[in-house]
Each structure stands twice: as C-alpha cells, then as structure tokens.
Amino acid sequence: MAPWGELFAGVRGVLLDISGVLYDSGAGGGTAIAGSVEAVARLKRSQLKIRFCTNESQKSRAELVGQLRRLGFDISEGEVTAPAPAACQILKERGLRPHLLIHDGVRSEFDQIDTSNPNCVVIADAGESFSYQNMNSAFQVLMELESPVLISLGKGRYYKETSGLMLDVGPYMKALEYACGIQAEVVGKPSPEFFKSALQAIGVEAHQAVMIGDDIVGDVGGAQRCGMRALQVRTGKFRWECSGTIMAHGSLELPATRDSLASASQIAGKQVYATTPR
C-alpha cells in the first residue's frame, strides 16, 4: 500500500458526488450530512479545483443548487456537472427527438428539445412515474423503431433518502434493454464522457484528480477507469455497497476532526482510512 503522500502526490482537482456525500435527499429538502458543509468550505479555501458531479435526475440543476444552498453549501449552478444538460446536447447534435420517461422535476431541462414523432427514448429516475403504463409506452416506442436508441441518465441501482433506500434508474433501464434486446447509452456516471467533461470544466487531467463518492460502481469504478484516484465516503449508501472487482483507494469518514489540510492523509478535513486498491 502506497503512503498517502505518494497516493495524493500531484492532485490538483477534486470531483464531489452530491447525494449521499453532501446530503441525503428526502422530504422537506433533505438533510446535510454531518460535516459536509464545512468540508466543502474547506476544500474551496484550498488550492484545489472543485467540481460537483451528480447523476441527480429528479431535479434541474437550478433546483438542486437552490436546495443545497438552503442547506448551507457554497455552490453555484455553473459548478455542477449533471446528466440532463449533457443528454440535451447529444439529442441536438444527433437530431434525436425523445420520448421522455423522466421525473417532472427535471422536465424543464428538456424545454428546448423537440419531442414530436419520437425516434429515441430518454429514461431517468422517474420515481412514481415508473408505472407499467409508462414503461410499456417507452417499450412500444423503441420496438417500433428500425434502429432503437435508449439514452439513460445514469444506471445507478439505488440511492439513499432520509426515509431509506430508493430504486434508481438502473433497474428500469435494464428492463427496457432486456425487453428490446438493445443496450442503453448511459449519460452520467459511470460513463467516461461524463467524468471527462467534469475534468475539462476545471482544466485538470485525470491523473491529477480524485473522485469522492458513495457509489462503488458509479463513482469509484467509473473514476478509476478514467485514470483517476477515487475515495468512498462512509455515508449515503456506503454500508450497502459492495463489489468483487472494485476497491476504492481509501475511504473517508465524517464529521471532520481537524482544522486544516495538514497532511496527505486529509482532504478537506475528512479523516482518511487507507485501503489497498485492486
């Protein structure tokens, strides 16, 4: 196991997941995870470049940022990389007109997209809108296309709210893949393009960055495949997460216990526990 000084040598940027790392979503706007507001503030006072990376697809970026600011976080919409704007760019570039199976909270992100006579399906975390009728409508659109295109805003299995674990978009995406005999195009973590766009936004190379998240597959595995170092927080869905092939370079535990970035074994005052990466 490399010493922390070696492991974090040359780090210039930090990518931060949001749900399960900064806060747990839920009724009343959710709750900030203990120590996370202070950790973000400490990161911003450092020389590191920061980017917030989320697969959130039940809220627009504006709504998400407003919610986080009300919880005390220093964050702006321009600092967030999210899948819906990236998906819209893809749709425009490829002349795709989507049938939208999405949550009403993120529908405004697609206001400038032509949805007439659909030639693809976009699926996101639709929550209660994942009814049989809506899933079947998406299935029918895909089956009627000569070359069906399914775009998914992430492929997470589940996430944590204040009320408990919630099914994410991944299981529904997999159902459409299986039923239609196709493979979805994932926009969001763990897609390499998602991480590359976040790194480009802060002008940092993959080997100069570290990803911090609670999802062993989407956050840790996705970042590592892009050449980044990755840490897993012991919050959010951490205790339910396991993977036989992916191991974080280390784990972080809140609340913070120190006052500065005093050594390579700390990032934003979070205590780091070393593990051996595979």
Last residue of a domain, one of 187, 215, 234: 187
pLDDT at 120: 98
Domain that holds residue 123: 84-187
**Do 173 and 208 lie in a common domain?**
no
Between 5-14, 70-79, 177-186, 230-239, the lowest mean confidence (pLDDT) is in 230-239
Using alpha carbons, list the distances in angstroms from residue 35 to 50, 109, 180, 252.
17, 31, 45, 11
Spatial separation of the C-alpha atoms in residues 109 and 47, rounded to whole Å: 33
Using alpha carbons, list the distances in angstroms from residue 30 to 20, 24, 132, 158, 205.
11, 6, 28, 17, 33
Pairing mode of beta strands 185-186, 150-152: parallel
Q: What is the CATH number of the domain that holds 142?
A: 3.40.50.1000
Kindly tell me the sign of the dihedral angle through the C-alpha atoms of 24, 240, 86, 127: negative
User: How does pLDDT run across 134-166, given as a tens digit for each residue?
Assistant: 999 999 999 999 999 999 999 989 888 888 889
Share of the chain above pLDDT 70, in %: 82
Contacting residues for 8 by C-beta, under 8 A, at least 6 apart: 210, 229, 264, 267
Asked if residue 167 is part of any domain, the answer here is: yes
Model confidence band, residue 27 (pLDDT cutoffs 50, 70, 90): confident
Model confidence band, residue 251 (pLDDT cutoffs 50, 70, 90): low
Q: Taking residues 130-134, what's their average pLDDT?
A: 98
Q: Could you give the number of structural domains in the chain?
A: 2
**Do 110 and 182 lie in a common domain?**
yes
Residue 222 has pLDDT above 70, yes or no: yes
**Do 93 and 122 lie in a common domain?**
yes
Q: Taking residues 206-213, what's their average pLDDT?
A: 94
The 3-state secondary structure of 55-93 reads: CCCCCCHHHHHHHHHHCCCCCCHHHEECHHHHHHHHHHH
**Do 177 and 203 lie in a common domain?**
no
Last residue of a domain, one of 167, 187, 207: 187
User: How does pLDDT run across 176-197, given as a tens digit for each residue?
Assistant: 999 999 999 999 999 999 999 9
pLDDT at 263: 35
Asked if residue 266 is part of any domain, the answer here is: no
